[in-house]
Amino acid sequence: MVLSVSERTFTQEVLESPVPVLVNFEAPWCGLCRIIQPLLLQFNAQCGDQIKLVAINADQNFKLSTTYRLKSLPTLLLIENGIVRKRLESFRNREDLLLALEEMKLTYTNTPKSYIIPTTAELECRSA
């Protein structure tokens, strides 16, 4: 299940997310949006909790559509720490989208989730 986000929940669910967020701007009338939905669900399942997938109805969230300068639907934005890291729009075909998603998945699933910096006390214990 994909989390549906609105202008009201966008900051909390996307900009403040501790993991990268793949934002799918879509609309109910968009045929291509419905076609790519199974691919995005498969991508989401493969990434687990390392990338979060959300959907935004572009028609109902005009302010977000304008802020991110949507030119066509669907438009996918990968947002990390509040910054757009990747933008996918105007896919030529299903294979283009799959390749872009695979590249994105490899980029984010091969990086460590966090770095643990030892405290001074831990460092002193190790040297003793």
Q: What pLDDT sits at residue 123?
A: 46
Cα–Cα distances (Å) from 45 to 2, 51, 70, 128, in that order, read: 11, 10, 26, 46
Distance separating alpha carbons of residues 44 and 9, to the nearest angstrom: 20
Q: What's residue 112's pLDDT? A: 53
Closest CA to 101 of 27, 29, 20, 28: 20
Quick one: pLDDT at residue 6? Answer: 97
Phi, psi (rounded to 5 degrees) for 51: -140, 135
End-to-end CA distance of the chain: 51
State the pLDDT at residue 128.
46
**pLDDT (0 to 100) of residue 118:** 47
Identify the pLDDT of residue 111.
Answer: 55
Say what the pLDDT of residue 126 is: 45
- pLDDT the model gives residue 77: 96
Residues designated catalytic? 30, 33
Note whether 33 and 27 are within 8 A (CB). yes
Query: What pLDDT was estimated at residue 55?
Result: 98
Q: Which residues in the chain show pLDDT less than 70?
A: 109-128
